Amino acid sequence: MIGIVILIAFVSYLVARAYKNAYKRFENFPPGPPSLPVYGAYWIVLASEYNNLAMAFKKLGQRYKTKMVGLFLGPVPSVVINDPAMVKEMLNSEDFDGRMDIIVGRLRSYWKKLGIFFTDGYFWHIQRRFSLRYLRDFGFGRRDGTLEVVVEAEIKEMIDMTLNGPKYPAEQELVKGDLVYLPHYFAVPFINGMLHVFSRMTLPRAEYETLWRLAKHVMLFQRGSNDLGGALTLTPWLKDVLPNFSGYNDLRRGNQFLLDFFQKLVKDVMETQEDSHSRHFLDMYIKKMNEELKEQKKSTFSVDQLVLTCTDYMFPTATAGEAVLTMLVERILLQPEIQERVHEEIDRVVGRGRLPNLDDRRNMPYTEACIREMMRHETLVPLGIPHRAVKDVKFHGYDIPEDTLVSANFTMLHMDKELWGDPENFRPERFLTDGKLNLSKDKSLPFGAGRRLCAGETFARQTMFQVFAGFMQAFHVSTADGRPLTKPAKRIQGIITTIPEFWVRVTPRC
């Protein structure tokens, strides 16, 4: 009897303590759901919308009548901003320029704080400034004729692979007669373009298999974590007890291929480098690293950091642009009239005698508008990469403590009816005025904003235009089985939004 009383008392104590902790909050913290054991409010987020965290936070904002949802993800104080104006303000505030120190960041950087994506403070400032300064010299962040020629050459190979059939065994995995396999069919122009920026070299067609393997491994990593806020982030010990279920093994395998690739590239460059001149960005970085080593000063430059810098810039390159174009092809299958207008514009402006180039971009507003509308309609990174408050901040009347995780709900921005009128509709015309592209109408932020703006925006926009316009000039697309597509595929929510790989029929436009 005494034992039962003690057990009841103990259980009552645990329940009372859990209840107290559930509603324990910082003073003047944004309203939001209570915390439950272990994962805090993450349980409630998942219950709201398991496969779409951005939509889950929209629902929570409506439930608690707030534009900023405050909650605890495990022990981590977190804020998700749903209001478009507040999103832009937060992104442009240096008070939120920090990054969270999470297992996904450590896993991909030798368990150190390296790279560009997941670092902050002085280290991030120096490394980002140096990389952007010198990558720009080699075509990243601006228009570069040499880079444009490289991308055009890869597009020609991509088209030839389909028109004349595979030359190498690996190509048979992506091209079968008049069928091509998306998104990896689009990968080479993006990846070889980025390799050219880094090292002024590209892999020849005989070695495309390496580039496709790279794209597949990066996609494996991208899908291995749900918006960087999953169970593995909150309870890192899951990597030891449930490595497959938690996504840890996919993250590790996907990342390691890229690390191995750039370790070899950097090693080869260091063995052939001459101090008298710099051939490319890798030379510039190694030269700076050696200078600081000679001066015996504490440096942020290292071989490992160079590998992670290349990895960080290649990660979105190897998947993001291809994912956008793949979803755009799917949209064309859903709305065939889009294909007709794109073909008409290409034939009128470019014709068939040469590939579309970046000079044609301003004269092809509808084609450009299709890409922009795709990035608005399908938010690639719904909650972005989480920011961190670098100090205690007063934001729109609420107190945000230092080290709070802060996320921008980009889906709310891109689907806001006040901004777009009919955001649920895919309508490229929304960016046009009198048949011309009107950039003032594009309020979307697919690449973020502020100092954490995606550095690859210019490269991505230019390459997506070249690849999409060249592909559409060459082919008419239809479903693999010839039946009309009636609904979009289910989205896969990871670090970026993707759709399952699929075959599409391409008919030459002779």
Helix (H), strand (E), coil (C) string for 383-450: CCCCEECCCCEEECCEEECCCCEEEECHHHHHCCHHHHCCCCCCCHHHHEECCEECHHHCCCCCCCCH
Domain residue extents for the chain = 105-222+240-379+422-508
- Which element (helix H / strand E) includes 476? strand 475-479
Give the predicted TM-score (pTM) of the model. Answer: 0.92
Beta bridge partners, 98, equal 388
Spatial CA neighbour of 143 closest among 470, 471, 365, 457? 457
How far is it, in rounded angstroms, from Cα 133 to Cα 274?
21
Best CA proximity match to 35, nearest among 8, 70, 66, 67 = 70
Q: How far apart are CA 388 and CA 386, in angstroms?
A: 7
Q: What is the pLDDT of residues 21-80, one digit of tens each?
A: 555 789 999 999 999 998 899 999 989 887 889 999 999 999 999 999 999 999 999 999
Tell me which fold the domain 105-222+240-379+422-508 belongs to: Cytochrome p450 (1.10.630)
d(CA 58, CA 82): 7
pLDDT value of position 388: 96
Residue of 453, 218, 168 lying closest to 323 (CA atoms):
218
CA-wise closest residue to 199 among 132, 260, 282: 282
Supply 488's token pair: 């979009």
**CA triple 142-278-313, angle to 5 deg:** 45
Contact of 406 with 400, CB cutoff 8 Å = yes
188, 211 contact by CB (below 8 A): yes
Q: What are phi and psi of 380, to 5 degrees?
A: -70, -40
Instruction: With CA atoms as reference, report the closest residue to 63 among 22, 28, 31.
Output: 31
Residue numbers in the chain where pLDDT is lower than 50: 9-20, 227-228
CB atoms within 10 A of CB 482: 7
pLDDT at position 51 is: 80
| Residue 154 DSSP label | H
3-class DSSP assignment, residue 498: strand
Cα–chain-centroid distance for residue 144? 23
Q: Which two tokens stand for residue 285?
A: 């970085």
